[in-house]
Amino acid sequence: MPDTLEWQTGSFLKDVERRSGTPVGACFQCHKCSTGCPIAPDMDLLSSQVMRMIHLGQEGSVLESRAIWLCASCEACTTRCPMQIDVAAVMDSLRMMAVERKVELGDPRGEQFNRSFLQSVCRHGRVFELGMMVAYKIRSRDFWTDAEKSGKMFSKGKLSLLPKRSGSAWEVARLFRRAEEEEKKR
Ligand code: SF4
Ligand code: SF4
């Protein structure tokens, strides 16, 4: 997806602000969000860089980045921002935009992991680690990375063969349905 000259109309910025409900345009590049981000060393773009690129309408580069998929939604950035910008919500909105716009990712593993995780939570009301791992391995066709760790995890009781369904699974499923309905209205 090529970057466009959207900075002339600011439509990418307006779109991200509308979807995330937070004033991205108020960012003044203090970098406090990036310096508190635990995933920053592995990201191709820092959160503050993402903010600036949104200002500049660099939609293609932002939506194709690994950073938006590596973001762990920990909200450290949101807590640290002096302008009360909900940076984590921005990253979340960018992921949704990338999916809707069928952006081709150079490295799709982050998106594949995210999808496998959410599917597991939606189905069981909590994550079923083994099921999630199998779904991710099938999606990514990466069958051997970290395979040697599964034996240790079984022996320490960190993985179970069968899912334990949460008592609130129906409420979680309802939340997923509601989020989908809300998303369709946007
Ligand atoms: S929510 Fe994402 S971008 Fe923000 S600090 Fe956490 S991992 Fe980094
Ligand atoms: S902390 Fe807030 S104002 Fe500072 S760079 Fe990040 S988003 Fe912008």
What confidence tens digit (pLDDT) does each residue in 139-178 have?
988 888 888 888 888 888 888 888 888 888 999 999 999 9
Q: CB of 69 within 8 A of CB of 97?
A: no
Task: Report which ligand 1 atom has the smallest distance to the Cα of 67.
Answer: 3
CATH number of 6-100: 1.10.1060.10
pTM summary value: 0.79
CA of 20 to the centre of ligand 1 (A): 15
Q: Pick the ligand that lies closest to the CA of residue 33.
A: 2
What's the CA-to-centroid distance between 78 and ligand 2, angstroms? 9
Q: At residue 136, does pLDDT exceed 80?
A: yes
Over residues 2-23, the mean pLDDT reads 79
Read out DSSP for the chain?
----SGGGTTHHHHHHHHHHTS-GGG-----HHHHT-TTGGG-SS-HHHHHHHHHTT-HHHHHT-SHHHH-----HHHHH-TT---HHHHHHHHHHHHHHTTPPPSSTHHHHHHHHHHHHHHHHSS--HHHHHHHHHHHHT--STTTTHHHHHHHTT---SS----TTHHHHHHHHHHHHHHHHH-
Other Cβ atoms less than 10 A from the Cβ of 72: the count is 11
Closest ligand by atom to 95 CA: 1
Is the pLDDT score of 7 beyond 80?
Answer: no
Average pLDDT over residues 77-90: 97
pLDDT in tens, 23-55: 999 999 999 999 999 999 999 999 999 999 999
Distance between Cα 65 and ligand 1 center (Å) = 14
In ligand 2, which atom is closest to the CA atom of 32? 1
- Atom number in ligand 1 closest to CA 37: 5
- Residues at CB less than 6 angstroms from ligand 2: 27-33, 48, 51, 80-83, 85, 87
Distance set, CA 159 to CA 2, 23, 47, 82 (Å):
42, 41, 33, 41
> Domain ranges in the chain?
6-100, 109-185
Atom of ligand 1 nearest to the CA of 47: 3
pLDDT tens for 95-124 read 989 988 888 887 888 888 888 999 999 999
pLDDT for 73 equals 93
Ligand nearest to the CA of 82: 2
- Tell me what percent of the residues of the chain surpass a pLDDT of 70: 95
Q: What is the distance in A from the centroid of ligand 1 to the CA of 52? A: 16
CA of 39 to the centre of ligand 2 (A): 16
